[in-house]
């Protein structure tokens, strides 16, 4: 499944467009249904702060110590490179990258992938969840740590297929199963963290062996502020003001909608924000006669959002006439 090198952001917690071969968990479906109906779980939610991690070196050492016993990965004789953003360890066929002071961890096994299998051999959603959850609790227990108010939740999977076509042939071969991705998120006080932060994606080959993982998993501190959540109708009104409407020649279809605590994750300085606050994520697919494209937008979900200069949508809303925003307590 070597084609899948993207991060967890694209397959679950952001709630991106559902691709062919994807199956959502009951939890994810329930969250989307609740979000569309009422928005958030509670009338007031805490504003959180992403805590600085324990250090890239510390987390890398923990991963090296625990993974061989749980994943059969030979994490020895690494070549180490560092820069201001990340620690990168390379062995024969393995790359381990740790960044954001240890909050973001990525592993890839670059050994040749096994041959694809008949699609009928694909495991069930339950089997994928059980296997992946067991790996997280044994191989990643020092990386994916839960607080007293946290819950690790399974969001679903994406199966990957490939099919070859002989030159000149009218049809391609029957598609083969090449692997799958198991996606997990995090509930904080019953509210899903959306946006890419607090996410785990495990990549599997067609034979069930682990190809790698993407983890973004910070600890959170309370910012000393609880905010009143907006109604789902108010959130939709804001979204209409913030986002450009398509022309009359374009048809639109909403593919996903979820409200939660918005954390963009720590994968890059461009994405990173320390402030985690209520927001709703909307995924819309637009189609015209010439093309089809999707738009993922975020809308502030607090009646009085916290001003966050690193969040484009939030900053745009706070700059609108009549908008009311606030700063964090000092």
Where residue 153 falls among pLDDT bands split at 50, 70, 90?
Answer: very high
Maximum C-alpha span of the chain: 69
Of 109, 132, 134, 102, which is closest to residue 216 (Cα–Cα)? 102
Residue 178: how many other CB atoms lie within 10 Å: 22
Looking at the DSSP bridge assignments, the partners of residue 23 are: 157
pLDDT at position 13 is 43
Looking at the DSSP bridge assignments, the partners of residue 228 are: 44
Helices and strands in the chain: count of H runs, count of E runs: 5, 15
* DSSP conformation class of 229: B
Residue with token string 């381990």 = 96
User: Which residue ranges make up each domain of the chain?
Assistant: 8-221, 229-318
DSSP 90-106: E-SSEEEEEEGGGTEEE
Helix axes 232-242, 26-38, angle to 10 degrees: 90
Per-residue pLDDT reduced to its tens digit, 271-303: 556 899 999 998 877 677 677 767 788 999 999
Where residue 257 falls among pLDDT bands split at 50, 70, 90?
Answer: confident
pLDDT at position 18 is 40
CB of 39 within 8 A of CB of 259? yes
Tell me whether strands 86-90 and 79-82 are parallel, antiparallel or unpaired: antiparallel
Where residue 323 falls among pLDDT bands split at 50, 70, 90?
Answer: confident
Where residue 8 falls among pLDDT bands split at 50, 70, 90?
Answer: very low
CB of 301 within 8 A of CB of 279? yes
d(CA 175, CA 116): 9
More confident residue, 63 or 219: 219
CA dihedral 298, 302, 308, 311 (to 10 degrees): 0
More confident residue, 121 or 262: 262
- Does position 75 have pLDDT exceeding 70, yes or no? no
* DSSP conformation class of 103: T
pLDDT at position 17 is 35
**Which residues lie closer than 8 Å to 137 by C-beta, 6 or more apart?**
none
Looking at the DSSP bridge assignments, the partners of residue 302 are: 229
pLDDT at position 62 is 86
Question: Rounded mean pLDDT of the chain?
Answer: 84
Q: Residue 20 corresponds to which tokens in the numbers above?
A: 């062919």
Of 281, 308, 278, 274, which is closest to residue 103 (Cα–Cα)? 274
pTM for this model (two decimals): 0.87
Where residue 330 falls among pLDDT bands split at 50, 70, 90?
Answer: confident
Q: Give the mean pLDDT of 157-163.
A: 85
- Does position 2 have pLDDT exceeding 60, yes or no? no
pLDDT at position 246 is 62
CB of 210 within 8 A of CB of 201? no
d(CA 199, CA 33): 21
More confident residue, 71 or 158: 158
């Amino acid at each position: 499944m070597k084609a899948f090198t993207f991060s967890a952001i694209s397959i679950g917690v952001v709630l991106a467009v559902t691709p062919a071969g994807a199956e959502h968990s009951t939890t994810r479906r329930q969250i989307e249904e609740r979000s569309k109906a009422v928005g958030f779980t509670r009338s007031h939610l805490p504003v959180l702060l992403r805590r600085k991690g324990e250090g890239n070196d510390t987390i890398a050492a923990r991963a090296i110590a625990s993974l061989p016993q749980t994943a059969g990965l030979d994490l020895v004789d690494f070549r180490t490179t560092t820069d201001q953003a990340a620690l990168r360890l390379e062995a024969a066929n393995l790359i381990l990258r740790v960044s954001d002071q240890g909050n973001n961890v990525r592993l890839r096994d670059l050994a040749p992938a096994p041959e694809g299998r008949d699609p009928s051999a694909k495991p069930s959603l339950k089997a994928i969840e059980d296997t992946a959850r067991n790996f997280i609790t044994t191989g990643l227990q020092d990386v994916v740590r839960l607080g007293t108010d946290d819950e690790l939740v399974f969001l679903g999977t994406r199966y990957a297929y490939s099919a070859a076509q002989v030159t000149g042939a009218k049809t391609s071969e029957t598609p083969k199963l090449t692997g799958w991705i198991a996606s997990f998120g995090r509930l904080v006080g019953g509210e899903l963290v959306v946006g890419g932060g607090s996410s785990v994606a495990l990549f599997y080959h067609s034979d069930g062996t682990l190809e790698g993982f993407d983890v973004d998993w910070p600890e959170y501190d309370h910012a000393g502020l609880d905010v009143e959540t907006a109604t789902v109708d108010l959130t939709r009104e804001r979204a209409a003001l913030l986002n450009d409407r398509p022309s009359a020649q374009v048809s639109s279809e909403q593919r996903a909608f979820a409200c939660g605590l918005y954390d963009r994750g720590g994968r890059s300085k461009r994405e990173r924000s320390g402030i985690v606050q209520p927001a709703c994520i909307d995924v819309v697919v637009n189609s015209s006669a010439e093309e089809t494209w999707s738009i993922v937008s975020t809308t502030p979900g607090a009646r009085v959002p916290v001003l966050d200069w690193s969040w484009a949508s939030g900053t745009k809303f706070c700059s609108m006439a009549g908008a009311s925003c606030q700063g964090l307590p000092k």
